[in-house]
Amino acid sequence: METKIFQVEELKEAAGLLRQGELIAFPTETVYGLGADALLPEAVKKVFAVKGRPSDNPLIVHIANFSMTEKFVENYHPLTEKIVEAFWPGPLTLIFPIKKGSLSPVVTGGLSTAAFRMPDNKKTLTLIEETGDPLVGPSANTSGKPSPTTASHVYHDLKGRIAGILDDGATQIGVESTVLDLSGEVPTILRPGAVTKELLEDTLGIEVPLDKHLVKESETPKAPGMKYKHYSPDTPVLMVKSNDWAKALAWAVAENKSYGLLATPKIAEQYASTTRFVFADDSIEAATRGLFSGLRALDEGESVDLIFAEVFPEDHLGLAYMNRLKKAAAQKYFEV
């Protein structure tokens, strides 16, 4: 199969292919998604097959406007309107209880809930409108590997296996959306993202708990990205705390291990390495935007035995960054 790169003037053609059950990757402000018509179970099954994704892992349903949820949602949490007005379109996924039979179990992972998101990308919102149905949209990459933040990442992983990619350059945020569970009484974060715990609490005026439960391989997750290990390159990753860089690099030299650095300019300037991916600046925003690109670049470039990655405080956006990095590193820090 030829994988076509679609431009904005070719949206109708891409939408036509989606209606025929083909797969089209699409851009969002977070990462690129692998699109299939959410109402065509056989097309959705292709998503799992192409990604190599476990079939019990539920998919996020991408919509172009709030009214598209009404066909599926059984009842809305009392805070839904306030949340939607504040954060949609944007990097926030909401989980609702759904009407029985309204979505295929292939989409929901067999759960009585489903996840919905309105991405903040005009090209993709138009693509959904042109298709006429919501689109499932897990990250457009091989399952378990770093998520794609450019069309070229998608092409690298899925060329010849999907019909096309809607290109809109690099994503702005770089990690997947926050997932907020609204199927119970208390809104609960299942996956941190750019809509932070602090931002939700400021907007809603209530405490919003973070579910820190990590799902084992034998469990069915309620939202994507809840496994212990995820977003992982083939090269082992070790997280390095700020005071451990000198010891980590000395250990690698003593063990005759080649390494790459994934770090801010502040760290990269202090510790030499011929193989490195340096974030655009020292901010958590730059680190989050560059995390998946950096993991991919170090994994696919010059061969190294391991990747040393910089850590950040686990608050605000740093919580989302560390959530992904911990899973990419299988929870492992460098330890003396």
Flag whether pLDDT at 55 surpasses 90: no
Cα→Cα distances 152→25, 141, 293, Å: 11, 11, 11
Q: What is the pLDDT of residue 216?
A: 61
Mean pLDDT within 148-177: 97
Q: Does the structure show a pLDDT above 80 at 128? A: yes
Give a yes or no: residue 229 inside a domain: no
Is 11's pLDDT higher than 70? Answer: yes
Last residue of a domain, one of 157, 182, 204: 204
167 and 315 together in one domain: no
Residue 231 assigned ligand-binding role: yes
Position 215 confidence tier, pLDDT thresholds 50, 70, 90: low
Q: Does residue 260 belong to any structural domain of this protein?
A: yes
Total tally of structural domains belonging to the chain:
2
- Establish whether 117 is an annotated binding residue: yes
Give the pLDDT confidence score for residue 1 in this predicted structure.
Answer: 87
Is the pLDDT confidence value at 267 over 90?
Answer: yes
Report whether pLDDT(317) > 90. yes
Give the CATH number of the domain where residue 11 resides: 3.90.870.10
User: Does residue 102 share a domain with residue 55?
Assistant: yes
Q: For residue 57, say whether it is annotated as part of any ligand binding site.
A: yes
The pLDDT-based confidence of 94 (bands split at 50, 70, 90) is very high
180 and 267 part of one domain: no
Q: Examine the fold and report which residue of 161, 182, 204 is the final residue of a domain before the chain moves on.
A: 204
Answer whether 95's CB lies under 8 Å from 114's CB. Answer: yes
For residue 112, tell me if it sits in a domain: yes
Is residue 221 domain-resident? no
Q: Indicate whether 163 and 310 sit together in one domain.
A: no
Instruction: Kindly list the distances between the CA atom of residue 153 and the CA atoms of 42, 140, 176, 232, 317, in Å, as whole numbers in the listed order.
Output: 25, 9, 15, 14, 23
104 in a known ligand binding site: no
Question: Is 215 within a domain?
Answer: no
Same structural domain, 136 and 265: no
Residues 154 and 281 reside in one and the same domain? no
Q: What is the pLDDT of residue 217?
A: 59
- Confirm whether 333 is domain-assigned: no
62 labelled ligand-binding: yes
Same domain, 63 and 181: yes
Q: Decide if 98 is inside a domain.
A: yes
pLDDT of 218 above 70: no
| Predicted local confidence at residue 224, as pLDDT | 67
The verdict on whether residue 53 carries a ligand-binding annotation is: yes
Region 52-70: mean pLDDT is 92
| 161 assigned ligand-binding residue | no
Confirm whether residue 147 is marked as ligand binding.
yes
* CATH assignment of the domain containing 309: 3.40.50.11030
DSSP code of residue 313: -
Q: pLDDT tier at 219 (50, 70, 90 boundaries)?
A: low
pLDDT value at position 100? Answer: 96
* 151 and 263 co-located in one domain: no
296 assigned to a ligand binding site? no
Question: Is 19 labelled as part of a ligand binding site?
Answer: no
Is residue 193 domain-shared with residue 251, that is, in the same domain? no
- 22 within domain boundaries: yes
User: Please, which residues have CB within 8 angstroms of residue 282's CB and are 6 or more apart in sequence?
Assistant: 264, 265, 266
**Which residue in 257, 265, 270, 321 sits closest to 295, CA to CA?**
321
Residue 318: what pLDDT?
A: 98
Same structural domain for residues 262 and 130? no
Task: Please state, rounded to an integer, the average pLDDT across all residues of the chain.
Answer: 94
Asked if residue 161 and residue 16 are part of one domain, the reply reads: yes
Quote the percentage of the chain above a pLDDT of 90: 88
Give the domain-ending residue among 204, 221, 249. 204
Q: What is the pLDDT of residue 70?
A: 97
Give the domain extent around 254. 237-328
**Average pLDDT score over residue span 275-294:** 97
Tell me, yes or no, whether 168 and 272 share the same domain: no
pLDDT at 295 over 80: yes
At residue 144 the predicted structure's pLDDT band, cuts being 50, 70 and 90, is confident
Confidence of residue 15 (pLDDT cuts 50, 70, 90): very high
139 labelled binding-site residue = yes
For the chain, give the longest Cα–Cα distance: 61
